[in-house]
Amino acid sequence: MTEARSLPRNAALVHAFLRRHEGPATAYRILDGLRSEGVSAPPTVYRALDRLIALGLAHRVESINAFVACVRPEHDDGNGFAICRDCGHVAEFAGGAMRRTLGEIAEAQNFELDHATVELSGRCSSCRQADGEADRG
C-alpha cells in the first residue's frame, strides 16, 4: 500500500479532499473545493486523480462519473460499488468472488479479462429505513 504522505502536493490535496468529502465527488466539485488551496486548472485535478487511481488510492465510479477515495486498499483482486439511487451514497466492497466469476464468464467467451469493476444501483439501508419510518406515520 502506498503512503498518501509521499504523494506530490496536488495528488495529496485531492486525496485529502476525497477523504473528507461526503460521498463521491465530481472533478468539478474537487476543483471547486480546492480553489482556496491554489488548485485552479482542471488538468491539474485530472492528473492528480489519474495518479491516485493508478496507486489504488481513489476510484472512478463510472456510472455517475465521480470519484471516491478508496476505503479498501487491500482489494487487489477486484472491487465494486453499491450506489444508492436516492441519496447517491457509494459503498465500496471487495469483490474477489465476483472477480473470479467474471473471469470464468470471460474465459467462456474466450476473452482475456484485465479489469472488472461492478457498479450496483439500488437503495441504501438509510433510504429504505427512512421510507419505513414515513410509512408508520
C-beta of 36: minimal distance to Zn ion in Å? 28
Residues 42-71 that bind Zn ion (CB under 5 A): 70
Which residue is it, cell 500500500? 1
Contact between residue 4 and residue 15 where contact means Cβ atoms under 8 Å apart: yes
119 binds Zn ion (CB under 5 A): no
Q: What is the CA radius of gyration of the chain?
A: 17
Q: Which of 87, 97, 105, 120 binds Zn ion (CB under 5 A)?
A: 87
Whole-number Å distance between alpha carbons of 111 and 120: 23
18 forms part of the interface with Zn ion (CB under 5 A): no
Q: Which is nearer to Zn ion, 32 or 53 (CB)?
A: 53
CB count in 10 Å sphere of residue 25 = 22
Residue 124 in the binding site for Zn ion (CB under 5 A):
yes
What is the total count of residues that contact Zn ion (CB under 5 A)?
A: 9
Q: Which residues of 107-132 are buried (b: 16+ CB within 10 A; e: fewer)?
A: eeeeeeeeebbeeeeebbeebeeeee
Residue from the set 86, 104, 107, 119 that interacts with Zn ion by CB under 5 A: 86
Query: Quick check: 82 binds Zn ion (CB under 5 A)?
Result: no
Query: Of the two residues 42 and 85, which places its CB atom closer to Zn ion in the complex?
Result: 85
Site residues for Zn ion per CB under 5 A: 70, 72, 79, 84, 86-87, 89, 124, 127
